[in-house]
Amino acid sequence: MSDGTALQGQLSDGTALQGQRLVVVGAGSRTGRALAKAASAADATVVLAGPDPRKLEWTAGELSGPSEVLALDLADERSIIDFAGQVGRFDHLVSTAAMPANGPLKDLELADVQRAFSAKVIGPLLLAKHLAGQVAENGSFTFFSGVAAWRPAPARTVMATTNGALAFLVQALAVEIAPVRVNAVSPGIVDSGSWDGLGTDKEAFLRGVAERNPARRVGSPEDLVKAVFYAIDNPYVTGTVLHVDGGGRLA
C-alpha cells in the first residue's frame, strides 16, 4: 500500500507547519521576515524574536495569521532566560541572527568580534541550553551558517570562523539534546538587502557572482525559506548543514 498521500502533505513547502508554533529569531531581517510570512501563510503561529521591537512589529503587520512579538538579545544570557520563560512550548526555532565583524585583521575591535560570536555561536548554544526542554515532540532548531566558512576571504576572518564554528556546533547539539533535531542552513550570496550598501555597484557584483556560480544565479530569501522548511519537515535530518549557495563554495 502506497503512502504517497501522507508524503505529499510533508513536502518541504511549509505544509507540515500547519497548527505548529514556530519561533523566528531575527524576524526583523529580510530573510527572517520572508520566513515568518511563509510560515504564517502555512497556518503556523509565529513568534517573532529579536532586539528591535519596531522591526518585529513591522514583520507582525505583514503576517496573515497569529503572531507574538518577544524581545531577545543573543548577547545577553539573562535575556535568553527571560525569553524562555515567556515563549513557553514550541515546535521549531529558526535563528537567522548575524552580527558581522568584517574588516582587516589589524583593525578588528574585540567588542565587535564578541558580538559576532554571540549571534552565531554563543547565542545558539544558550538557546539550546535554555529552550531544549520546551521543544515539542519531533521539534527542531535551525541556525544560519554561511558560505564564508568554506570560502574564507581577506577581511572576512571572523565571519568564516563564526560560521564554521556554528557548523560544528549543530553536530554537537544534535547529539547532546537528541531527539530534538539541530541543523544549519548555509547561504551563499543572496540578494537579501545585505548588499544594498554597494549602491550602483550592487548589480555588477551580483552579476559577477552569478557568472561564477555553478547554478549561474544568486540566491533569494525564498531559496533559504525552502531549505528551512526542508530541515523542519524531514524528521530524519539532524546534525546537518544544508548548503544553499548555488555551488558557490565550489567555484
How large is the average pLDDT for residues 77-88?
A: 98
Is residue 13 predicted with pLDDT exceeding 90? no
Q: pLDDT class for 14, splitting at 50, 70, 90?
A: low
Asked if 177 and 214 count as a contact pair (C-beta separation under 8 A), the reply is no
Query: What secondary structure does DSSP assign to 186-209, as a single string?
Result: EE-SB-SSTTGGGGGGHHHHHHHH
Burial class (CB in 10 A: 0-12, 13-18, 19+), 5: exposed
Q: pLDDT class for 16, splitting at 50, 70, 90?
A: confident
How large is the average pLDDT for residues 2-18?
A: 52
Q: What is the pLDDT of residues 36-50, one digit of tens each?
A: 999 999 999 999 999
How large is the average pLDDT for residues 189-199?
A: 87
What cell does 241 get?
548543514
Predicted TM-score (pTM) of the model is 0.92
- Which pLDDT belongs to residue 195? 86
Return phi, psi of residue 30, to 5°. -65, -40
Asked if 206 and 177 count as a contact pair (C-beta separation under 8 A), the reply is no
- Which pLDDT belongs to residue 1? 42
Is residue 224 predicted with pLDDT exceeding 70? yes
Say what percent of the chain tops pLDDT 90: 90
Mean pLDDT (the chain) is 93
Q: At what angle do helices 110-117 and 157-176 cross, to 10 degrees?
A: 30
Is residue 2 predicted with pLDDT exceeding 70? no
Return phi, psi of residue 102, to 5°. -95, 155
Cis peptide before 179 (omega within 30 of 0): yes
What's the angle, vertex CA 145, arms to CA 141 and CA 150, rounded to 5? 140
